[in-house]
Each structure stands twice: as C-alpha cells, then as structure tokens.
Amino acid sequence: MSAWKSIAVFLDYADPNYGILDYAGWLAQQCDAHLIGIFNMGALATGSDGYTAVRGDAAIQEVIARRRKREEQAVFEAGQRLAEVGGRRGISVEFRVLWRANECADAQLNSLHCDLVVMEDRRESCLPDGVTAERVVFEVGVPVIVVPQGWKQNEDVTRVVVAWNATREARRAMSDALTYITLAEQTVLLVIDPEKCDGRFGDLPGMDAAHYLARHGGNVRSQTENSYGRPINEVILSVAAKENADLIVMGAYSKPRRRQLLFGGVTRSMLSDIRIPVLISR
C-alpha cells in the first residue's frame, strides 16, 4: 500500500500547457493518491504587462477589468486542465490558488501537509520567489521530485537509482522514496568510492541498505562505482542513463551560510543539470 496519499504539484504559469500535470497525474494514479494543484495567481502581476500607467477613472477601471478577466481566464484554464487529468487518470483532485505575488509563505503552507511535492525544473518560472525545491525540503520537510521540462514518463516504472553513501540524509531519502521503489521493476543501490568513507559502509558496502529495501518489497541490486576523479553527480547521471532510470533518489546536504540553507556541492550540481526526475529529501 502506498504511503503517498496526498501529492502537491506547483503549476507554473510560464508553461501554458501545464505539462507537469501529466507527470503528477500519472504518479498520483500509481499511488492511488489525492492530487493537489497549486496555481500561483500572483505571477500574473509580474512581467511587461504587470504595471500600467494610466490616468482618469475610466482608464483605471478598464485596466482593472482587463486584469480581472485575465485572472479569471488563467484560473479557469489551469483548473480545467487539472480536472481533465483527474478524470483521465481516475484520481481525486483539488485546486488551490496563491493570490499574492512573490509570496512563498502560502506555497510552503500548502505543501506542509502533503506526502510529496512535484515541481518542474524551469529556468524561467512564475512561481513565487523562494518557492524552490531547496526551500520545500529544508523549511517544510517534505520530499520533492524535480522533473525535467518536457519529461515523458512511461506508464511502467523500470528502474530507480538510489545514491547511497550511508548517511542520515541518504537514509531519509531512501525511506521517503519507498513508495516509488516498490513500483519499480528494479532498484539499483549505487555506492560510489566506498573506500573513501573510512569504513562507514562495513565489509559489504550497500548490502544492509539493499536488504532494508528488499524487506519493503523492492527488487534491489547493489552496485559499486569508482569516480576516478569525476564529479559525483556525473557518476550518478552516467549510471542512471545506462540503466534508463525513471528516478534518481538522493539525500540533500546543506551548508549553513549567512543564515541561509544552501545545498552542498553534489546536491546543487545534480539540480543544476536535471536530466531525469530526481527525488530529494532530508
């Protein structure tokens, strides 16, 4: 039985087709989960037409009416697309609207009581400032799946790659991903450069973690790779590409700096080059 019963997906007005809904709807169907679409209305106030200088009551009223019509149309289109995905996938859906521009507190509150958040990796986004995978993971504590723009998901889950380094963060991510791992035909537990970890793994690197996943219903095999000086994220991506993976699972590592929580090097490098969906958790 899936542990993901409530999945939130942020709808980005920068993508008028709301392509991320196809992935979120598929995932909700696989998990028999309730899907919550969160649409940022405040983004409509930004951009070249977000400010208009006019004079006179009639002109002001015309601008207000035009803005209101644009808002109504945007809400209708996003809600209609969510309803269409729900009907096609046979899942329950819920539509929420964030009304204030550049307001991330509401977005974090709306993701607080969900089991999972789905976000699309877009270089140009209309989500509120601060609504990033980093913020959701560290400040809300909910695992996030970041999906590449234009990703086409197969109906069946073939492979999952778990980046395992025997840390608390990796263990939390692996546990949070159990729902997806049990859907997969096979999960690859990837250990990179175990000899550099001062005996952290024990005599058989990854075996205890593989047994843990297997007891939860995963079909798991462990795999050890040497980086030979390559960046760790490139090793992970290389293995994922060879396996034709549907998902990478990894822990998120932070470095406190000037009162902000910033991702560590491997996590940040991975998220700067999203090629397949990545689940991050901490």
Count other Cβ atoms within 10 Å, centred on residue 142: 18
Which amino acid is it at 232? I
Tell me, yes or no, whether 117 lies in a domain: yes
Clarify whether residues 133 and 164 are in a common domain: no
pLDDT at 59: 72
Tell me, yes or no, whether 82 lies in a domain: yes
The tens digit of pLDDT for each residue in 215-267 reads 999 999 999 999 998 988 999 999 999 999 999 999 887 655 443 444 457 77
Clarify whether residues 234 and 127 are in a common domain: no
Confidence check: pLDDT of 81 > 90: yes
Clarify whether residues 203 and 80 are in a common domain: no
Clarify whether residues 127 and 217 are in a common domain: no
Average pLDDT (204-224) is: 91
Tell me, yes or no, whether 153 lies in a domain: no
Tell me, yes or no, whether 44 lies in a domain: yes
Which residues, in sequence order, are CB contacts of 98 under 8 Å at separation 6+? 38, 39, 40, 41, 42, 106, 107, 110, 128
pLDDT > 90: percent of the chain: 45
Question: Structural domain of residue 240, as residue ranges?
Answer: 159-281
Query: In the 8-state DSSP scheme, what is residue 15?
Result: S
Clarify whether residues 129 and 175 are in a common domain: no
Place of tokens 């490139």: 234
CATH number of the domain enclosing 65: 3.40.50.620
> 26-35, 94-103, 139-148, 199-208: which has the highest mean pLDDT?
26-35
Clarify whether residues 20 and 142 are in a common domain: yes
Clarify whether residues 93 and 181 are in a common domain: no
* Count of domains for the chain: 2
> For residue 81, which of 73, 50, 190 has the smallest C-alpha distance?
73
Which amino acid is it at 94? E
pLDDT at 266: 76
pLDDT at 99: 73
Tell me, yes or no, whether 154 lies in a domain: no
Tell me, yes or no, whether 1 lies in a domain: no
Clarify whether residues 101 and 170 are in a common domain: no
Tell me, yes or no, whether 16 lies in a domain: yes
pLDDT at 183: 94
Q: Which of 97, 119, 147 is the last residue of a domain?
A: 147
The tens digit of pLDDT for each residue in 187-202 reads 999 999 888 766 676 6
Confidence check: pLDDT of 128 > 90: no
Q: Which of 91, 115, 147 is the last residue of a domain?
A: 147
Clarify whether residues 36 and 125 are in a common domain: yes
Tell me, yes or no, whether 55 lies in a domain: yes
Clarify whether residues 10 and 143 are in a common domain: yes
Average pLDDT (32-54) is: 69
> 32-46, 54-68, 146-160, 202-216: which has the highest mean pLDDT?
146-160
**What is the CA angle 80-81-86, rounded to 5?**
95
Confidence check: pLDDT of 184 > 90: yes
- Angle, helices 57-89/20-31, rounded to nearest 10 degrees: 40
Top-confidence residue, 98 or 5? 5
Clarify whether residues 17 and 133 are in a common domain: yes
The tens digit of pLDDT for each residue in 161-180 reads 999 988 888 999 999 999 99
Q: Which of 147, 178, 208 is the last residue of a domain?
A: 147
Clarify whether residues 67 and 25 are in a common domain: yes
Contact indicator for 42, 103 with CB cutoff of 8 Å: yes
The tens digit of pLDDT for each residue in 53-69 reads 666 677 777 776 777 77
pLDDT averaged over every residue in the chain: 82
- Cα 180 to Cα 185: distance, rounded to the nearest angstrom: 10
